């Protein structure tokens, strides 16, 4: 075991955030082992920028499995599941060389860890549109640069007494007293301290002004448009990605945005009002069910019930997301990502040809999607394509999913030939086809062909 002051596969002894730990990785690992050794733990959850594969390897004998939560991808990990709930450019590639080959990777806001109330509000709230009547200002607990004060000053400079403003500042914030004095005498500005959740405030607001951290996903889930100022380096790439997709208006980093800058952006939005498409696009990105998906990834049993349904037009975005999953692309015959335009043309053409393409979506009893199976007519045979959602991998569900789908195809096309083409290196799929009784046509080829008669 290598810890501190040495290298392990290119890992420097000191990580970029080593100082945040307050001690060495070796000392922290030893302390953690002492604290945990007297019980059996199914999962160990690691969420710290100053811990890497060396610390995780040292704790391997304490827990059956390790989940790592990360968002900067700057160090190696020794874990069974990695969770990064953020949305950044090329996120599928960020962890490719720093994780074990069998690690289950949960990427993107589908896995955002939000309080359950956000999923409830996601399905209840109408989109924001038209005039801005209420604004929420919240920059988190610390707000060392007093961005709350800047945002308030920007709003006050617009002299809009007709707009209500809710301001959330932690009682422990060094800016609390200054903000309290700033809002004194303004009846349309309401100050709040420590709140257990921002959900109710977000539900009432038409627009938010805040930082670019985890609150992004809460705002998107409830369809709340936002002006964002980043306050940490790891927020920049995320804010840039959301801005490019039209999901937030990123004003810049905290040292680049002054009161005048905020006032200009806010004044323009107040003048033009909100287009409903902004709010609608936000809710499409985050549904608030991330906790359910992560729990499934950690606890799903091999015998979980599977329901199959025919694909629907509304599944277009879902199938594209699955098709571009890094593991799916790695096992595909072409590793290049699929563009939205290319997928749209392909998908809509297939929907119009039900006699030549059959697609099933697999779901849990709670309607959480688990994967897909596609049968596409190639001459006189049906060629199979299938995938399992990352949260459900490693449970042997691929076999059961294919078995159920083949049974449905047999009902409608008895006696038909079914083909499976698999890369020789894709041993998981090869085992599944062989376990289902497929005949192997060319076992030593780079692409192995499997055949089965229904």
Domains annotated for the chain, with CATH where assigned, are 18-107 (3.40.50.11190), 121-285 (3.40.50.2000), 301-453 (3.40.630.30)
Question: pLDDT by residue (tens digit) across 109-141?
Answer: 999 999 999 999 999 999 999 999 999 999 987
Which pLDDT belongs to residue 231? 93
Is residue 14's pLDDT more than 60? yes
Is residue 332's pLDDT more than 80? no
Write out the two tokens for 365.
């009893």
Burial 26-43 (b: 16+ CB within 10 A, else e): bebbeebeeeeeeeeeee
Is residue 214's pLDDT more than 60? yes
Mean per-residue pLDDT, 69-91? 90
Poorest-pLDDT segment among 38-47, 253-262, 297-306, 339-348: 297-306
Tell me the pLDDT band of 6, cut-offs 50, 70 and 90.
very low
Sequence length of the chain is 454
Which pLDDT belongs to residue 264? 97
Mean per-residue pLDDT, 90-103? 85
Instruction: Give the closest residue to 430 by CA, choosing from 407, 54, 143, 441.
Output: 441
Is residue 249's pLDDT more than 60? yes
Mean per-residue pLDDT, 220-225? 98
Identify whether the C-beta of residue 384 lies closer than 8 Å to the C-beta of residue 419: yes
Is residue 12's pLDDT more than 60? no
Is residue 296's pLDDT more than 90? no
Question: pLDDT by residue (tens digit) across 38-70?
Answer: 888 999 999 999 999 999 999 999 999 999 999
Which pLDDT belongs to residue 297? 84
Instruction: Give the closest residue to 45 by CA, choosing from 79, 4, 3, 11.
Output: 79
- Sheet with 189-192, side-by-side order of all strands: 189-192, 164-168, 134-138, 207-210, 226-230, 249-253
> What separation in angstroms does the CA of 76 have from each of 22, 232, 326, 395, 396?
20, 22, 18, 25, 27
Is residue 191's pLDDT more than 90? yes
Write out the two tokens for 340.
């939205």
What's CA 209's distance to the chain center, in Å? 22
Which pLDDT belongs to residue 221? 97
Tell me the average pLDDT of the chain: 90
Which pLDDT belongs to residue 13? 53
Which pLDDT belongs to residue 294? 92
Which pLDDT belongs to residue 121? 97
- Relative orientation angle of helices 397-412 and 427-435, to the nearest 10 degrees: 50
């Amino acid at each position: 075991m290598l810890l501190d002051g040495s290298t392990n596969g290119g890992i420097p002894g000191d990580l970029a955030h080593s100082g945040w730990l307050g001690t060495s990785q070796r000392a922290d690992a030893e302390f953690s082992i002492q604290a945990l050794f007297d019980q059996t733990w199914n999962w160990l959850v690691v969420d710290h920028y100053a811990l890497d594969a060396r610390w995780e390897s040292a704790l391997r004998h304490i827990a059956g499995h390790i989940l790592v939560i990360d968002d900067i991808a700057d160090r190696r990990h020794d874990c069974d599941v990695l969770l990064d709930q953020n949305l950044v450019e090329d996120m599928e590639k960020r962890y490719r060389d720093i994780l074990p080959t069998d690690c289950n990777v949960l990427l993107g806001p589908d896995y955002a860890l939000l309080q359950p109330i956000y999923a409830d509000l996601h399905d209840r709230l109408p989109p924001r549109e038209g005039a801005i009547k209420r604004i929420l200002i919240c920059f988190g607990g610390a707000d060392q640069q007093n961005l709350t004060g800047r945002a308030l000053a920007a709003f006050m400079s617009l002299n809009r007494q007709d707009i209500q403003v809710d301001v959330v500042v932690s009682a422990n914030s060094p800016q609390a007293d200054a903000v309290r004095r700033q809002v004194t005498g303004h009846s349309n500005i309401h100050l709040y301290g420590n709140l257990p959740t921002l959900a109710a405030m977000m539900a009432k607001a038409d627009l938010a002004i805040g930082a670019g951290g985890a609150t992004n996903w809460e705002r998107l889930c409830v369809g709340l448009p936002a002006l964002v100022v980043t306050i940490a380096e790891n927020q920049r790439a995320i804010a840039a990605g959301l801005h490019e997709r039209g999901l937030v208006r990123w004003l810049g980093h905290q040292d680049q945005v002054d009161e005048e800058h905020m006032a200009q952006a806010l004044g323009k939005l107040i003048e033009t009002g909100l287009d409903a498409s902004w709010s609608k696009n936000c809710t499409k990105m985050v549904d608030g069910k991330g906790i359910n998906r992560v729990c499934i990834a950690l606890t799903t049993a091999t015998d979980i019930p599977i329901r199959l349904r025919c694909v629907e037009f509304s599944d277009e975005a879902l199938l594209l997301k699955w098709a571009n999953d890094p593991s799916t692309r790695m096992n595909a015959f072409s590793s290049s990502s699929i563009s939205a335009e290319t997928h749209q043309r392909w998908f809509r053409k297939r929907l119009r040809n039900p006699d030549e393409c059959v697609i099933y979506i697999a779901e849990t009893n709670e309607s959480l999607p688990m994967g897909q199976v596609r049968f596409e007519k190639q001459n006189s045979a049906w060629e199979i394509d299938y995938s399992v959602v990352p949260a459900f991998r490693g449970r042997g569900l691929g076999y059961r999913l294919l078995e159920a789908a083949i049974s449905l195809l047999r009902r409608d096309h008895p006696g038909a030939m079914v083909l499976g083409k698999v890369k020789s290196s894709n041993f998981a799929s090869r085992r599944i086809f062989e376990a289902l009784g497929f005949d192997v046509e060319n076992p030593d080829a780079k692409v192995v062909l499997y055949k089965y008669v229904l």
